[in-house]
Amino acid sequence: MATTAQLFEEPFDADEYIERLAWRTPGGGSKGGAEAFDPKRLLEEFVNHIEELKQLDEKIQRRVEKLEHQCHREAKEFAHKVQDLQRSNQVAFQHFQELDDHISYVATKVCHLGDQLEGVNTPRQRAVEAQRLMTYFNEFLDGDLRSDVFNNPDKIKEAADIIQKLHLIAQELPFDRFADVKAKIASKYHDLERQLIQEFTAAQRRGEIGRMREVAAVLLHFKGYAHCVDVYIKQCQEGAYLRNDVFEDTAVLCQKVNKQVGEVFSSPETIMAKLIQNIFEYKLQAHIKGKLDETRHSDVEQYLKNLYELYTRTTALATKLAEFNLGSDKHTFLSKLIKSIFSSYLESYVEMEREYLRTRGAMILQRYYDSKNHQKRPIGTGSIQDLKERIRQKTNLALGPSIDTHGETFLSPELVVNLLQETRHAFERCHRLSDPSDLPKNAFSIFLLLVDHLCVEHIDYALEIGLAAIPSSDAKNANLYFLDVVQQANSIFHLFDKQFNDQLMPLISSSPKLAECLHKKKEVIEQMEVKLDTGIDRTLNCMVGQMKHILATEQRKTDFRPEDENNVMIQYTAACSKVCAYVSRQVEHVRKSMDGKNVDTVLTELGVRFHRLIHEHLQQYSYSSMGGMLAICDVAEYRKCAKDFRVPLVLQLFDTLHALCNLLVVAPDNLKQVCSGEQLTNLDRNLLHAFVQLRVDYRSARLGRHFS
pLDDT tens per residue across span 127-157: 555 556 555 555 555 555 656 555 555 555 6
Q: What is the mean pLDDT of the chain?
A: 83
Task: Give percent of the chain with pLDDT exceeding 90.
Answer: 36
**pLDDT (tens digit per residue) in 244-287:** 888 998 988 888 888 888 888 888 888 888 989 999 988 899 99
- Tally the residues of the chain: 708
Alpha helices per DSSP H over 470-573: 482-499, 505-508, 513-554
- Whether the pLDDT of residue 4 is over 90: the answer is no
Which of 571, 661, 665 shows the shortest CA–CA distance to 626?
A: 665
- Whether the pLDDT of residue 502 is over 50: the answer is yes
Choice between 111 and 16, residue whose per-residue pLDDT is larger: 111
Contact, 660 vs 688, CB < 8 A? yes
pLDDT the model gives residue 184? 61
Choice between 12 and 510, residue whose per-residue pLDDT is larger: 510
Which of 524, 536, 687 shows the shortest CA–CA distance to 601?
A: 536
Q: How confident is the model at residue 394 (pLDDT cuts 50, 70, 90)?
A: low
- Whether the pLDDT of residue 521 is over 90: the answer is yes
pLDDT the model gives residue 362? 93
- Whether the pLDDT of residue 382 is over 50: the answer is no
Burial of 343 (0-12, 13-18, 19+ CB in 10 A): exposed
pLDDT the model gives residue 126? 59
Contact, 655 vs 640, CB < 8 A? no
- Whether the pLDDT of residue 670 is over 80: the answer is yes
Alpha-carbon distance values, 559 to 99, 554, 612, 628 (Å): 142, 10, 20, 10
pLDDT the model gives residue 185? 61
Rounded distance between C-alpha atoms, residue 568 and residue 103, angstroms: 143
Contact, 554 vs 582, CB < 8 A? no
Whether the bond between 11 and the residue before it is cis, its omega within 30 degrees of 0, is yes
Choice between 30 and 675, residue whose per-residue pLDDT is larger: 675
pLDDT the model gives residue 235? 86
Rounded distance between C-alpha atoms, residue 335 and residue 250, angstroms: 17
Alpha helices per DSSP H over 11-154: 14-24, 39-142, 148-151
